[in-house]
Chains A and B, each alone.
Chain A
Amino acid sequence: MSRDAGRLSLILLFTPFALWILLLIILPQIGIGYVSIREKVGINTYEYGFKNYVDFITEPVYRNTLLRTAWMSILVTALALVIGFPIAWYIAKIAKERSRAALFLMCLIPLWVSDLVRAYGWIVLLRETGVISMTLVKWGIISQPIEMLYNDMTVIIGLVYTVILFMIVPLVSTLQGMDDALLEAGYNLGGSRITVFRRIIAPYAMPGIVAGCIITFMLTAGSYLTPILLGGKNSSWFTEQIYNQFITRYNWESGSAFGVSLLVFTSFVVWAGLRLTGQSLATTVAKE
């Protein structure tokens, strides 16, 4: 092939990529950055400055919502790891060849169903007239139906549910690559279960753990449906604040400042996670 043809095909292949990244990713981010630093002072007249950010930091409601979202996202990520790890271990190491595939597939099933349907399922189960409450009444365990929706506990259960598969899938694929001989060697050399876990399994599984944690954290902090539907009007989730600014109050300037803050925050956590564990974005997140 001649060099010119090579150049031409490079340009032809590069164009869609460049248009996509530029028009739909980079420019829009610059766009909200720009809108977030302006403030409307009259019809079509704006002043520029960081007032929106100052408002965001000085208004306790907004600041606390972000902190609350952050704290709960970290909690959900940790829970997903603790709950998911034994399951991933079971699928990767203990289950027999055939049931392994079936279990893995079962793990994926909820992934095919939208968040909305899943959250709706939880509502049907947990609300005052829902399945669990009514069954408990019928069995005489409780005398009055109880409302199990609209509290933090439920939001956490629902969030762990929505994201845990994104934790289990990378863990399974990492653990499957581990040679069982490593474990035997660990035990033969006199290591206890805890030592073997700490010195052999955990380091080996680290890429999977990091990938899982990053994806789960990201999805949790950016989720909208689950906290709103299960947490109700006072779920105080940060994405809800963004929605309120944009759609309800039509205040795009401060909504953009909120958006940028969330993006900076999640990017920082992802970056710190990668940094601390010596992984890179291309090798963890991109490895399906």
Chain B
Amino acid sequence: MQGSAGLMWIYRGYVVAFFLYLVAPLVAAGVFAFNDSMFPSLPWNGFTWDWFFSPSEPKLGLFHDDRLLQGLGNSLYIGVIVAALSVAVGTCNAFLFVRKDFRFKNALYVLMVVPLVIPGVILGISILVLASTIAGLADQWFGVFLTSLRPGIPLVVMGQFSFLVTITSLVIIARLEKFDISLEEAALNLGASRTRTLLTVTLPFLFPAMFSAFVVAFLVSFENFNTTLFLVGSDSPLTITMYDRMVKAGSTPVLNATSVVLMIGSGLLALLSIFAQRPKKA
């Protein structure tokens, strides 16, 4: 790049300032988890682990706060189910769009991408409306109570699944397109059955992509708010529990402690998925 040294330093300064902007709120959310105070703000009253481990009020620590732990449990449970479902359907979609030819394939491919450009709030309300309509009709016509179609964990799963499939499909499609089909032919020529070829050649090749799709889906599910907001019943996931507390009860550093745990957890998972993808590039 041409350009005077002075300009280059201003440019570097700008980049540094940008990265400060990027980490500032994360650091702020993290640091106050260790402040020995009732409020997540200055002054600094000294270091404490209380917001993680203290067993009693007023400084009830995260690991003794039943509501937050319950939320965390719900989030994990929902995340695993949603991620597993999305990866399963995403894998089917990958084989469908990479290997098969059928009518309107391009139009259907666009349809597969569309959920990414529907605002999450709209996915949430539309699924809420449809599920309630069906539940209402079932009640009216057949006298059946379909509790799973009322707001609650099953609806949250459906809501998150509806757009996560697009993400997992795209990740797995990208990998399947790189597969050398002659490997499958070789296996077939050597006498392997279709199923065996799939299980021993194709799926192991796809596995890194499936794994990282799983992790991405899990993380997105875990932090999703917009879609989930409309579909929660009494068992709310962690994001909703935290939000309620922020808005209604006023925040204490226990929320900072939760943020720290979330940052560490999602950071580790993200690294894991990067390493799983790594061999592909090597």
Q: Which residues of A contact B (CB under 8 A)?
A: 1, 9-10, 12-14, 16-17, 20-21, 24-25, 27-29, 31-32, 35, 83, 86-87, 90, 93-94, 103, 106-110, 112-125, 127, 129-131, 134-135, 161, 187, 214, 218, 221-225, 229, 239, 242-243, 246-247, 252, 255-256, 259, 262-263, 266-267, 270, 281-282, 285-286, 288
Q: Which residues of B contact A9 (CB under 8 A)?
A: 100
B237-260 vs A: 1/0 string, CB under 8 Å? 001001100110001000110010
Q: Are B121 and A222 in contact (CB under 8 A)?
A: yes
Q: Are B22 and A107 in contact (CB under 8 A)?
A: yes
Within the complex, what minimum Cβ distance (angstroms) separates B29 from chain A?
A: 4
**Most B C-beta atoms less than 10 A away, residue of A20, A24, A110, A256:** A20
Give 8 A-B contacts (CB < 8 Å), ordered by A residue: A10-B96, A29-B118, A103-B19, A112-B266, A114-B266, A118-B26, A262-B122, A281-B110
Which residues of chain B in 1-40 are interfacial with respect to chain A, using CB atoms and an 8 Å cutoff?
1-2, 11, 14-15, 18-19, 21-29, 32, 39-40
Q: Which residues of A contact B202 (CB under 8 A)?
A: none
Q: Are A28 and B112 in contact (CB under 8 A)?
A: no
- Known A20-B162, A114-B225; contact A13-B125, beta-carbon cutoff 8 A: no
Q: Are B25 and A285 in contact (CB under 8 A)?
A: no
**Distance, CA A118 to CA B223, complexed state (A):** 11
Within the complex, what minimum Cβ distance (angstroms) separates A82 from chain B?
A: 12
- Known A122-B25, A131-B42, A242-B121; contact A117-B130, beta-carbon cutoff 8 A: no
Taking a contact as CB atoms closer than 8 A, the residue among B15, B43, B112, B266 that contacts A134 in the complex is: B43
Q: Which residues of B contact A (CB under 8 A)?
A: 1-2, 11, 14-15, 18-19, 21-29, 32, 39-43, 88-89, 92-93, 95-96, 100, 102, 106, 108-123, 125-130, 133, 158, 161-162, 165, 170-171, 174, 194, 219, 222-223, 225-226, 229-230, 239, 242-243, 246-247, 251, 255-256, 259, 262-263, 266-267, 269-270
- Known A108-B270, A120-B251, A259-B121; contact A127-B127, beta-carbon cutoff 8 A: no
Q: Are A263 and B111 in contact (CB under 8 A)?
A: no
**Distance, CA A109 to CA B174, complexed state (A):** 23
- Known A25-B162, A112-B266; contact A129-B25, beta-carbon cutoff 8 A: no
A-B contact sample (15 more), CB < 8 A, given A12-B92, A14-B96, A135-B42: A16-B88, A20-B165, A31-B126, A32-B129, A35-B133, A87-B18, A108-B270, A109-B22, A113-B262, A134-B42, A214-B117, A246-B230, A281-B117, A286-B116, A286-B170
Within the complex, what minimum Cβ distance (angstroms) separates B172 from chain A?
A: 12
**Distance, CA A121 to CA B167, complexed state (A):** 28
Main secondary structure on chain B at its contact with chain A?
Answer: helix
- Known A109-B267, A225-B243; contact A90-B15, beta-carbon cutoff 8 A: yes
Q: Which 6 A-B pairs have the closest CB atoms?
A: A121-B25, A222-B119, A114-B223, A28-B126, A121-B29, A24-B162
Within the complex, what minimum Cβ distance (angstroms) separates A183 from chain B?
A: 8
Main secondary structure on chain A at its contact with chain B?
Answer: helix
Q: Are A266 and B100 in contact (CB under 8 A)?
A: no
Q: Are A120 and B255 in contact (CB under 8 A)?
A: yes
- Known A13-B100, A222-B119, A281-B110; contact A114-B92, beta-carbon cutoff 8 A: no
Q: Which residues of A contact B22 (CB under 8 A)?
A: 106-107, 109-110, 161
Within the complex, what minimum Cβ distance (angstroms) separates A16 from chain B?
A: 5
Q: Are B125 and A32 in contact (CB under 8 A)?
A: yes
Q: Are A28 and B127 in contact (CB under 8 A)?
A: yes
Kindly report which residue of chain A lies nearest to residue B255, judged by CB atoms: A120
